[in-house]
Structure 1
Amino acid sequence: MTRTTFPDTVVLQETRMTAGPTSAASAVAAHAPGQHARKAAMASFAGSTLEYYDFFIYGSASALIFNKIFFPGIDPLLGQFLSMATLGIGYVVRPLAAGFIGHFGDRIGRKQMLVFTLVSMGLATFLIGCLPPTAAIGAAAPILLVLLRVVQGISAAGESVGAVTLSLEHAPSGRRAFFASWVNTGAAAGIMLASLAFLLVSLMPQADLVAWGWRLPFLASIGVAVAGFVIRRRLPEAELFEEARGAEKSHELPLKVVLRDYWPTVIKVVIFGVWAVVSTIVSAFSLSYATNNHLVSSSIMLAATIVTAALALVAQPLFGILADRIGRKPVFITGNVICAASIFAYFWSISQGSVPLVFATQIVVMVVGYGMVNPLGPAIVAEMFPTRIRYSGAAVSSQLGLIVTGFAPTIAAAVVRPGPDGWVPVAVFTAICCGISALVTLVWVRETYRVDTHELGARTGG
């Protein structure tokens, strides 16, 4: 049989010729591989936008507001450190949550768990907006804040991996990176909207902002939950997943299979995943660093984030196309190298208080460098696991790796020094993480851009 430009068609047709008759719906899907790819990618983009809007308004609030609301009456630097620490707590619970969400994602379907993650995120974020301050209820306020942040972490644990898995499994083999790139492009859109929301409320008088204005972006998440439920309920399951679930005979726990047969891949992903520190360092810590040291105003920093996120909406899918043509590894490694080098220029620009340079260097870091790694990272991880355990394997391993990402702003707050060059340790830490990710990708990650979707993860260890 001659291989066509859609490898999935060949495999599906060969399988069905030997397996006997199938349903009419399956037959149609076999002749139209990827027919739902655009719908899945766009729905994942929309859901990811809403999810990361919720997740990153917390980052903005922790940098600008929470030390005043939930940690008042203590040294400002300690208050800022504690506020940054609550940002990281949401990442601690994510590996355990990923095991739970991934299990049911592999058992009952990707779609159902994506509905769960989005609705739970929206409700938790709404309730954060309802929290009384420490001045009203004492220590219960920061405790409740941490608990709701944990719920956010549980939700985020399965969001991007599940959406990438769904998009990847719908996509034709030769275009997986492009369609999967729309998930983290949605994350960029969410960051843009979150920054815009806080830019608007930051224009309020300081007293009103601290008293009630900061709550508005959080309260808006009830609409996020409703819209997300409607969007996600309309997502179809991928034919590839349905076939894998139907062929499964062992009924072993997916996580058991991952930890027994794919533990080298889990270790690989944990080390590989430190590239993501760039996001929290730029979106959360640099905002705090610039404003608390009176170097650049919060409105300027948020405006820069809005501009770079908007540009990333264009850049990231283009890098996805490039990765489908020349491979994931050269694009991903190059992006890490650019991030490692340009993060020094970015923090130097902040230390100089130069608005044009802040905009220019953040574009280099987040649009060019991070724009190469961000859309590819989750897809590379998902491609390391076979269909039957993909959600569990990718979710657990990637969330273990993201613990460093979650606490990156806390680490940065601990190592930053007073003075004009105090940012250097933070830039060094970020660059080292990018260098580690690039090196692991170079020597330990399998290139998959020419691998058929059915063959992904076929070798033990990924």
Structure 2
Amino acid sequence: MTTTDPDQIWDQSRKRLIPGTVIGSVIEWYDIAVYGQAAALVFGTLFFPSFSPTTGVVAAFATFGVGYFARPVGAVLFGHLGDRYGRRFSLVCTLLLMGVATVAIGLLPTYGSIGVAAPILLVVCRLLQGLGVGAEYVGAVTMVAEFAPVKRRGFFSSLPASGVFIGIGLAAAMSAGVALLPEEQLLSWGWRIPFLFSIFVVAIGLLIRLRVPESPVFTELKQARARTRVPALTMIKAMPRRLLLVMVANGVLAFNIYVVQTYSLSYIAAKGVPKSVALSAVLVGCAVGAIAIPLLGTLSDRAGRKPVYIGVSAFCALVAFPFFWLLDTGNVALIMLAFALALGGCLAMFGSQAAYYAELFPAEYRFSGFALGREIPGAVLAGPAPVISVGLVSLGAGSPTLLAIAMVVVAVAGLLAVVALPETRGVDLAPIVDPDEALGTPARSTAATPRDATTTTT
């Protein structure tokens, strides 16, 4: 057991911890966003030229979705590493894997050079990206939550989530810049720049992350010999209902966000809106979101995790139809407003989610529970979201009504799931190391129950 004062640990660590976790989220979401934007704007032409334009876009979106089927696998793999061998170790692994896969995409030959092997290699790289992404954000938030002071846990845990929007915004800025190139240059070499740029961001992130100390909660867990052999399996057996509710609650961030940041780009491009306008609108939404996230994190420290999460879920339901109404105007200012609402307002849910999900699972399998709760709905909803969007809009004869209804349904379902979950503000995140507690007596907080005897096995 460590005797170091928690406040002293926090003061000594946060100058490295916050940048080290934020940069990982920046890289993760930069990689996701730049791939999604390329899928919407150029991959159909570069990797699926033998298809019709619409079918080519669908095929490109399908490769985007492939990565999400790998994310639950990454959640299990790196969640296991994080719960068994350390949060920091897992975060270094995910950072390297994401960076290597993204740079590799920027070096790929296209269909015109090597034929069908090109889209196959693209899928392989996307799968590797998905494995790394499956636990990156979760590990960052878990680290910060386990370090942060209880009364400000919501605020500090939300900071890595701000990196989400910084990453999306950086990707939009890079894609907007290369979109200004003449089409011939864009399709020959310009599209590679955003992917190759990732190598510089990863190098900086790795230098910072290697200096981040291990979580004091994991250190205590290791010293108490309270780690489980298979954290994910233990968690599923102990808390199946809670895991299911977390997955439903994450639906908005698994579906709505990808309709907004990926499909909507091709939706307005088909209406003649310039690519640079669409990507600039994403930048506006990201700027609003980056500001809103820590504000909501702070609000969750004062009002509780549930009220904030429920409020944002309700907003997500209300904004779905206006989002498409504003896009349909074709007016640049109104398009900017649409993205400010959807990305900046609705998707600021990250601010209330961060500490909440970390608090819902005990230390012994916190990384695994948090990761699976986010990534399983990612595989079910996020990956297929652009393809589902194309299908619903086509079914509606070009109208986004059915797609907007789907976004409302997902948001309302998430709201109801949060209603059924407990409030967690102020719970103790430290592991339960008392033998009587580990064998099934009441835990120290509602977020840490139920327990079973397997948590005492090293």
Question: Distance in 1 between the 2:231 and 2:316 partners?
Answer: 35
Residue 10 (structure 2) pairs with residue 34 (structure 1): yes
Residue 310 (structure 2) pairs with residue 320 (structure 1): no
- 2:362 aligned residue: 386
Instruction: Name the amino acid aligned to 1:168.
Output: A
Determine which of 190, 199, 219 is the counterpart of 1:242. 219
Residue 179 (structure 2) pairs with residue 189 (structure 1): no
Query: SS at the partner of 1:374?
Result: helix
Question: Distance in 1 between the 2:175 and 2:192 partners?
Answer: 10
Determine which of 115, 139, 152 is the counterpart of 1:175. 152
Residue 134 (structure 2) pairs with residue 144 (structure 1): no
The 3 A distance-change label for structure 1 pair 70 and 326 is same
The 3 A distance-change label for structure 1 pair 226 and 132 is same
Pairwise CA distance, 1:92: 0.4
- 2:371 aligned residue: 395
The 3 A distance-change label for structure 1 pair 30 and 334 is closer
Query: SS at the partner of 1:61?
Result: helix
Offset from partner CA, 1:361-412 (integer Å, 9 cap, x none): 22122222221x1222243222111112111121123211212122111110
The 3 A distance-change label for structure 1 pair 155 and 27 is same
Q: Is the 8 A contact 1:37 1:179 kept in 2?
A: no
Residue 439 (structure 2) pairs with residue 449 (structure 1): no
Question: Distance in 1 between the 2:174 and 2:384 partners?
Answer: 24
Pairwise CA distance, 1:287: 0.5
Pairwise CA distance, 1:28: 3.8
Query: SS at the partner of 2:340?
Result: helix
Question: Distance in 2 between the 1:38 and 1:344 partners?
Answer: 42
Pairwise CA distance, 1:48: 1.2
Q: Is the 8 A contact 2:314 2:411 kept in 1?
A: yes
Instruction: Name the amino acid aligned to 2:185.
Output: D
Q: Is the 8 A contact 1:343 1:431 kept in 2?
A: yes
Question: Distance in 2 between the 1:335 and 1:84 partners?
Answer: 28
Question: Distance in 1 between the 2:206 and 2:16 partners?
Answer: 16
- 1:364 aligned residue: 341
Determine which of 285, 290, 311 is the counterpart of 2:268. 290
Question: Distance in 2 between the 1:75 and 1:193 partners?
Answer: 31
Residue 93 (structure 2) pairs with residue 116 (structure 1): yes
**Residue segments in structure 2 that go unaligned for 5+ positions in a row:** 431-443, 453-458
Question: Distance in 2 between the 1:270 and 1:249 partners?
Answer: 26
Pairwise CA distance, 1:421: 5.9
Q: Is the 8 A contact 1:182 1:317 kept in 2?
A: yes
Q: Is the 8 A contact 2:396 2:402 kept in 1?
A: no
Residue 58 (structure 2) pairs with residue 68 (structure 1): no
Question: Distance in 2 between the 1:208 and 1:77 partners?
Answer: 23
Instruction: Name the amino acid aligned to 1:396.
Output: L
Pairwise CA distance, 1:419: 8.1
Instruction: Name the amino acid aligned to 1:450.
Output: G
Residue 257 (structure 2) pairs with residue 279 (structure 1): yes
Pairwise CA distance, 1:446: 0.9
Determine which of 60, 70, 73 is the counterpart of 1:83. 60
**Residue segments in structure 1 that go unaligned for 5+ positions in a row:** 1-21
| TM-score, structure 1 normalization | 0.90
Matched positions, count: 435
Question: Distance in 1 between the 2:428 and 2:76 partners?
Answer: 26
Residue 96 (structure 2) pairs with residue 94 (structure 1): no
Question: Distance in 2 between the 1:214 and 1:31 partners?
Answer: 47
Query: SS at the partner of 2:449?
Result: coil
Pairwise CA distance, 1:59: 0.8
